[in-house]
Amino acid sequence: MRTFIAIELSDEIRAALAQIESHLKYSGADVKWVDEKNIHLTLKFLGEIDEDECGKVKVVLDQIADTTKSFEISVNDIGAFPKIDYPRVIWVGLDKGTAESKLLAERIDEVLSKIGFEKETRPFTAHLTIGRVRSSKNKQALKEKMGSVGLQETRDKRQVVSSVVLFQSKLSPKGSIYTKLHEVRLS
């Protein structure tokens, strides 16, 4: 099964991100927008794992949750990977909670590497993917729309992160379908 570990977002933050997507859609750019209900903060992508590995991941998450305190997040800015002039992924970044989510992701990565999962090669960047650019169509209009997004209302949205979820991701023609396999409460 294809899996990843993530933080679920509040309905309030998801709705704010959907408004940002709606604004950006007016650019007419060729972007596959992430469905509002599927936007999350990925801590670790695991890829294909079997039932035995899934069980081991659950144990690791239980252990980490016991020693990790809840923390607050808020969103801050909008950007693109690898960069705004050549966007492939459109994202919204974190403001509050950046350091805490980075530390959590690094702990998960470190402990999972000890039981056979490949360690991340790139440093963790706390971001919420809202779209994936498919072609350069209307790229300049997209860049302009990104520069004109009003983020003040979105920045005021805050969420307490009190759990981490192991998700299964099934790909379908209508997009990814996420199923919770295991949820752990932070202390």
- Residues acting as catalytic residues: 40, 127
The DSSP result for the chain, as a single string, is: -EEEEEEEPPHHHHHHHHHHHHHHHTT---EEEPPGGG-EEEEEEEEE--HHHHHHHHHHHHHHHHT---EEEEEEEEEEEEETTEEEEEEEEEBTBHHHHHHHHHHHHHHHHTTTPPPPSSPP--EEEEEEE-S-TTHHHHHHHHHT---HHHHT-EEEE-EEEEEEEEEETTEEEEEEEEEEE--
